[in-house]
Amino acid sequence: MKAEIKFGTSGWRAIMADEFTVENVRRAVTGIARYVSSSKSSGARVIVGRDPRFLGETFVALAADILGEHGITPMVVSDPAPTPAIAYEVIRVKADGAINFTASHNPAEYNGVKFSGPDGAPALPEITKQIEAAVIAADSETAPSTTAKAEKVEVSIKKEYLKRLKELVDLPAIAKSGMKVAFDPLFGASRGYTDVLLREAGVDVTTVHDHRDVLFGGHPPAPDGEYLGDLTTAMKKSGARIGIACDGDADRFGVVDDDGTFISPNYVIAMLFDYIVESRGWKNGVAKSVVTTNMINALAAQLKVELYETPVGFKYIGELIKEDKIAIGGEESAGLSIRGHVPEKDGLIAGLLCCEMVAKRGYSVSQQLKRLFNQVGSFYPVRENFHLTPEVKAKFTAKLAADPHELDGRAVTEVVRKDGLKLVFKDGSWVCFRLSGTEPVVRVYSEARSEADITKLSAAAKKWIES
């Protein structure tokens, strides 16, 4: 079955043996190959990598053959590799892009294809639209655009990427503090990266889920609190002061405090923003997606740092990193990168910077969050998914086009349409509605200034959807 190949915020993803088949992967990679060939007449090189998912090696080999048939040299990464490590290698060797087989934090039955350009950043919509068009064009043809076959080369990217992390993180300070760390790669591509780096620096690290499991332990390889029970248990046994985790392709992070509390990615980004300004003195800017906590807005105002709000999708934050307009940028979905690093989400550096922050400040993550609340006020963000019937979705889609003046009695002071519909209220609380492009779901992001009010705001948002 020929599926429609559509690239979303992080590439094309589908369920294996349903739409993610050898035939459809061949079509997607052919579209990418045609795009690269049209952008560079000869001598193009594209890195091909993967996470540890089922059949990853098969898809890498297939992609290498297709690229070679189009005269593009495939630079094959044999072992599973983190998405940010692949991005760094693209920049380091000046490759013409990368194809990465991963479904990131999605469940084991999914796989996907990410395409990055020569800047190491996720491809922007104007590029993915060209790739989608190239897929359609290739469907009616049989021969590749060139007969000059390029031979694949094997590349190792781990050493250089870890070397870069050593330059960006104060590993000696973590070791000097004597703190213990627990790490959970969730059976994913960060295995043998974060923990190896810390151990080499002299840090006592306990690692869980340190083997390949294509089923990811029976749950999605997402670094969310509900899936980090084994990490929390390991922390208690080892006496670790912090627990850090990465998702399947290591572009997202998870942080657990020394008392077993899972720390919201919203809060982690805000704390690291504060810490980066303090420790590095970088005040050139900060970026966040429109649905990420407004604690960052308050901090930016207090620290006199320019704030950039972007649509959802790290590619937009990546552009600001490339232009050196920001010290740090992040998304509430646990994506983060910093100045001088890759324009791509990096779960490894996020976790390592949290370790450095705890080591150098001497306070736990929760203690530092409490300090931040005292500094800029309290913020309580929540993200929820609501499934819609076809009738409710049609009615709700029409409502999204209007500019509401109130929500369940709350007067709207600002309407923001950077991505979806965001309603801001007088007390600084807000709610944002975003329809999924792939399923009958509306994603609702809410933030209030108290725990009691976030419950009320969430209920009001649900009521507005269904009314």
Q: Which residue has the higher pLDDT, 211 or 391?
A: 211
The pLDDT-based confidence of 17 (bands split at 50, 70, 90) is very high
Gap between the Cα atoms of 363 and 5, Å rounded: 48
Structure tokens at 171: 């590993």
The pLDDT-based confidence of 293 (bands split at 50, 70, 90) is very high
Range scoring the smallest mean pLDDT among 90-99, 311-320, 358-367: 311-320
For 10-23, what is the mean pLDDT?
93
Confirm if 26 and 135 have CB atoms less than 8 A apart: no
CA atoms within 13 A on the CB side of 65: 10
Q: Identify the structural domains of the chain with CATH numbers, from first to last.
A: 12-156 (3.40.120.10), 160-376 (3.40.120.10), 380-466 (3.30.310.50)
Q: Taking the CA atoms of the chain, what radius of gyration do you get in angstroms?
A: 22
For 312-333, what is the mean pLDDT?
96
Q: Is the pLDDT of residue 10 over 80?
A: no
Share of the chain above pLDDT 90, in %: 87
The pLDDT-based confidence of 302 (bands split at 50, 70, 90) is very high
Confidence (pTM): 0.94
The pLDDT-based confidence of 116 (bands split at 50, 70, 90) is very high
For 159-182, what is the mean pLDDT?
98
Q: How many residues does the chain have?
A: 467
Structure tokens at 153: 């080369």
Q: Is the pLDDT of residue 145 over 70?
A: no
CA distances to 104, 207, 287, 297, 338 from 345, in Å? 11, 22, 13, 20, 9
| Best mean pLDDT range from 7-16, 147-156, 445-454 | 445-454
Beta partners for 254?
245
Q: Which residue has the higher pLDDT, 437 or 373?
A: 373
Could you report the per-residue pLDDT of 203-236, keeping only the tens digit for each?
Answer: 999 999 999 999 999 999 999 999 999 999 999 9
Q: Is the pLDDT of residue 40 over 70?
A: yes
Range scoring the smallest mean pLDDT among 145-149, 218-222, 325-329, 344-348: 145-149
Could you report the per-residue pLDDT of 439-455, keeping only the tens digit for each?
Answer: 788 999 999 999 999 99
Residue 375 makes CB contacts below 8 A (sequence gap 6+) with 274, 299, 302
For 325-340, what is the mean pLDDT?
97
For 2-24, what is the mean pLDDT?
90
Confirm if 199 and 382 have CB atoms less than 8 A apart: no
For 236-242, what is the mean pLDDT?
98
What is the residue-averaged pLDDT of the chain?
Answer: 94
Gap between the Cα atoms of 407 and 162, Å rounded: 49
Q: Is the pLDDT of residue 79 over 70?
A: yes
Range scoring the smallest mean pLDDT among 264-268, 272-276, 455-459: 455-459
Q: Is the pLDDT of residue 399 over 90?
A: no
For 297-313, what is the mean pLDDT?
96
Confirm if 222 and 107 have CB atoms less than 8 A apart: no
**Cα end-to-end span (Å), the chain:** 39
The whole-number pLDDT of residue 142 equals: 66
